[in-house]
């Protein structure tokens, strides 16, 4: 290597960057990665992992309550926010250490600095001033939460970045947004005992999900005491003696202790120097790439949230891996973005793969819909009011199951496995011949026999 200092320079040590760096190094490439914040990226440091730990914490309230019906007396449970945050931070530190060690074991050099692009092969390391010449540059810089549109007093609100470090549990919190992050945090704070108001401009939560799931989640949240302020937006925030006065678009004012804005995320491309290398971004700042994650500048690739394809950790990891296979492993690999199983860690939880009913009707025309809702067995003794919803969408022509939608306990775990079947192209007949596991909730997925009768045509959604 004469012309270049490294074969690969990765900007950003998150889900996509770390995987790409390790796999490329495994193929014998000399690899450097720059990280401006913490190794592990959004998922490990301030996304999926700490969020799931908080979701676990929030669900104990139900468990303590449910235990009574089974004969347990657990006394009056109390919750200590500081303990949760401290233990969560310890675990995140441990995971960051593992990510660093794995990179180092693979022979990847880690630079703790912001890095920007100077040209198609040069990266500028801001904290040392060094300039590294790289045969390939991988942009894996992720995204950041935004407060769009900006509102007066917006700085009084917090985003998902800060929510993991609040000093105290807010007694009253307003969560703004209707996507999965807003919904998950509303569930977390409701479970931990905060008074939660969820403000969303749409008429239902979770746009893009199956309408039955959206309806059921709205009902479940209302039942759990979440105050749903739908078809409203946040207009302004003002500091008052008693907290933060949040004014909504209908003129109503509510005083709360925290306002968590989770209305969207934007790729971290600002000031990255992409234009100096001939890489332009789209209207939201995302980097357009081809199926191999290559930009229009042949030496520059981009993976993960910065490309705004499917903004999920497993997808960033796959894209990073496929990039390394393609460029350094002589195995050109395309990531299929079509069938992505996914979970929303609301309480109740949601798991989905494939199309919702309306989308399936548009794509496949004639579909059969199987739906069941029931009270989970545990609720019979606990007295809980929760319900499980399961729905299968079947393309009539091929008998293929093209959508599975679950709301209820462990829906995320269930959809991972249902996802294997759907990815393999399982038909309804395959589901039917699968023996039920009894007594479980999941057995309903293989015992639904009668499709719903279509009442009326429905709008696409
Ligand atoms: C609250 C929350 C919850 C989530 N929950 C889930 C979930 O349950 N399941 C799921 O699949 N996904 C979840 N996600 C999404 C998931 O975290 C992202 O899709 C994933 O982290 C994207 O990986 P990435 O490699 O593209 O970017 P990131 O993981 O964001 O990594 C990018 C890294 O680049 C660094 N960086 C940025 N610019 C520079 C620069 N110029 N120089 C050096 N370093 C730089 C950043 O500091 C960061 O560490 C969640 C996200 C959030 C915010």
- Cα torsion at 156, 160, 166, 171 (round to 10°)? 70
pLDDT tens by residue, 304-328: 999 999 999 999 999 999 999 999 9
Closest by CA to 79, choosing from 210, 232, 193, is 193
Q: Is 305 annotated as a binding residue?
A: yes
Cα(269) to centroid(ligand 1), Å: 13
Cα(257) to centroid(ligand 1), Å: 27
Cα–Cα distance between 410 and 80 in angstroms, integer? Answer: 25
Catalytic (active-site) positions:
438
Cα–Cα distance between 43 and 160 in angstroms, integer? Answer: 12
Q: Could you tell which of 47, 52, 100, 145 is best to mutate to test the pocket of ligand 1, judged by most ligand atoms within 8 Å of the CB?
A: 47
Residue with CA closest to ligand 1 atom 12: 312
Q: Which atom of ligand 1 is nearest to the CA of 145?
A: 53
pLDDT at 455 over 80: no
Q: Can you give the pLDDT at residue 384?
A: 84
317 Cβ closer than 6 Å to some ligand 1 atom? no
Using DSSP bridges, classify how beta strands 388-395 and 401-407 pair: parallel, antiparallel or unpaired: antiparallel
Measured at the CA of 10, the angle between CA 37 and CA 93, to 5 degrees, comes to 35
Q: Is 182 annotated as a binding residue?
A: yes
Mean residue pLDDT of the chain comes to 96
Cα(319) to centroid(ligand 1), Å: 13
Cα–Cα distance between 189 and 195 in angstroms, integer? Answer: 8
Q: What is the mean pLDDT of residues 438-455?
A: 91
Please, which pLDDT band fits residue 456 given cuts at 50, 70 and 90? low
Q: Can you give the pLDDT at residue 367?
A: 97
- 171, 257 Cβ separation under 8 angstroms: yes
pLDDT tens by residue, 182-206: 999 999 999 999 999 999 999 999 9
- 21, 108 Cβ separation under 8 angstroms: yes
pLDDT at 461 over 80: no
Chain centre distance of CA 14: 14
Q: Which residues contact 35 (CB under 8 A, 6 or more apart)?
A: 12, 13, 17, 41, 110, 111, 112, 113
Q: Which residues contact 424 (CB under 8 A, 6 or more apart)?
A: none
Q: What is the mean pLDDT of residues 11-31?
A: 98
Residue with CA closest to ligand 1 atom 30: 142
115 Cβ closer than 6 Å to some ligand 1 atom? yes
Please, which pLDDT band fits residue 453 given cuts at 50, 70 and 90? confident
What is residue 197's DSSP assignment? Answer: E
Closest by CA to 351, choosing from 222, 221, 447, 442, is 442
Q: What is the mean pLDDT of residues 273-297?
A: 97
Q: What domains lie within the chain, and their CATH numbers?
A: 6-144+266-328 (3.50.50.60), 154-263 (3.50.50.60), 342-446 (3.30.390.30)
Residue entry with tokens 């004639």: 366
Q: What is the mean pLDDT of residues 46-54?
A: 98
Give the three-state DSSP class for 270. Answer: coil
Please state at what angle helix 81-105 crosses helix 15-26, rounded to 10 degrees. Answer: 20
Q: What is the mean pLDDT of residues 360-374?
A: 97
Q: Is 208 annotated as a binding residue?
A: no
Q: Is 180 annotated as a binding residue?
A: yes
pLDDT tens by residue, 69-86: 999 998 999 999 999 999
pLDDT at 1 over 80: no
Q: Judge if the upstream peptide bond of residue 348 is cis by omega within 30 degrees of 0.
A: yes
Q: Which residues contact 395 (CB under 8 A, 6 or more apart)?
A: 360, 364, 366, 367, 402
18 Cβ closer than 6 Å to some ligand 1 atom? no
Please, which pLDDT band fits residue 150 given cuts at 50, 70 and 90? confident
Select, from the ranges 114-118, 148-152, 335-339, the one with the highest average predicted confidence (pLDDT): 114-118
Instruction: Find the helix or strand (DSSP H, E) in which 318 lies.
Output: helix 313-328
Residue entry with tokens 């969303």: 200
- Half-sphere exposure of residue 398, counting CA atoms within 13 Å on the CB side? 13
Using DSSP bridges, classify how beta strands 143-145 and 122-125 pair: parallel, antiparallel or unpaired: unpaired
Residue with CA closest to ligand 1 atom 49: 41
pLDDT tens by residue, 387-442: 999 999 999 999 999 999 999 999 999 999 999 999 999 999 999 999 999 999 99
Instruction: Find the helix or strand (DSSP H, E) in which 301 lies.
Output: strand 300-302
Residue with CA closest to ligand 1 atom 47: 37
Q: Is 52 annotated as a binding residue?
A: yes
Residue with CA closest to ligand 1 atom 9: 48
**HEC secondary structure over 340-396:** CCEEECCCCCEEEEECCHHHHHHHHCCEEEEEEEECCHHHHHHCCCCCEEEEEEEEC
Q: 137-151, 268-282, 387-401: which has the minimum mean pLDDT?
A: 137-151
């Amino acid at each position: 290597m004469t012309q270049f200092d490294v074969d690969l320079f990765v900007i950003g040590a998150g889900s996509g960057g770390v995987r790409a760096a390790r796999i490329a190094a495994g193929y014998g490439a000399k690899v450097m990665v720059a990280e401006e914040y913490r190794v592990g990226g959004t998922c490990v440091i301030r996304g999926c992992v700490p969020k799931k730990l908080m979701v676990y914490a929030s669900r104990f309230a139900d468990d303590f309550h449910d235990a009574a019906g089974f004969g347990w007396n657990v006394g009056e449970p109390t919750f200590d926010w500081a303990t949760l945050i401290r233990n969560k931070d310890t675990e995140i530190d441990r995971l960051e250490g593992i990510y660093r060690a794995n990179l180092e074991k693979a022979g990847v050099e880690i630079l703790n600095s912001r890095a920007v692009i100077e040209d198609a092969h040069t990266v500028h390391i801001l904290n040392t001033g060094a300039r590294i010449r790289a045969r390939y540059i991988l942009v894996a810089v992720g995204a950041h939460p935004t407060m769009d549109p900006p509102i007066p007093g917006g700085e009084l609100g917090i985003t998902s970045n800060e929510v993991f470090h609040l000093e105290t549990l807010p007694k009253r919190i307003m969560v703004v947004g209707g996507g999965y992050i807003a919904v998950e945090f509303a569930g977390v704070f409701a479970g931990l005992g905060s008074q939660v108001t969820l403000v969303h401009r749409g008429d239902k939560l979770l746009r893009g999900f199956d309408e039955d799931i959206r309806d059921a989640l709205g009902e479940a949240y209302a039942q759990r005491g979440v105050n749903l302020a739908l078809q409203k937006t946040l207009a302004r925030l003002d500091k008052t003696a008693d907290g933060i006065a949040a004014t909504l678009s209908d003129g109503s004012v509510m005083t709360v202790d925290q306002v968590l804005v989770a209305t969207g995320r934007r790729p971290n491309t600002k000031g990255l120097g992409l234009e100096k290398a001939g890489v332009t971004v789209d209207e939201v700042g995302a980097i357009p790439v081809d199926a191999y994650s290559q930009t229009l500048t042949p030496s520059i690739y981009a993976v993960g949230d910065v490309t705004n394809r499917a903004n999920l950790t497993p997808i960033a990891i796959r894209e990073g891996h496929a990039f390394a296979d393609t460029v350094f492993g002589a195995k050109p690999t395309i990531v299929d973005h079509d069938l992505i199983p996914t979970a929303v860690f609301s309480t109740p939880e949601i798991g989905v793969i494939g199309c919702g009913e309306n989308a399936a009707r548009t794509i496949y025309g004639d579909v059969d819909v199987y739906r069941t809702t029931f009270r989970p067995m545990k609720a019979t003794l606990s007295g809980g009011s929760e319900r499980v919803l399961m729905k299968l969408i079947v393309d009539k022509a091929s008998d293929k199951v093209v959508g599975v939608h679950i709301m209820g306990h462990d829906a995320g775990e269930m959809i991972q496995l249902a996802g294997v079947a759907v990815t393999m192209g399982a038909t309804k007949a395959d589901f039917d011949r699968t023996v039920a596991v009894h007594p479980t909730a999941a057995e309903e997925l293989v015992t639904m026999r009668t499709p719903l009768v279509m009442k009326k045509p429905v709008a696409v959604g």
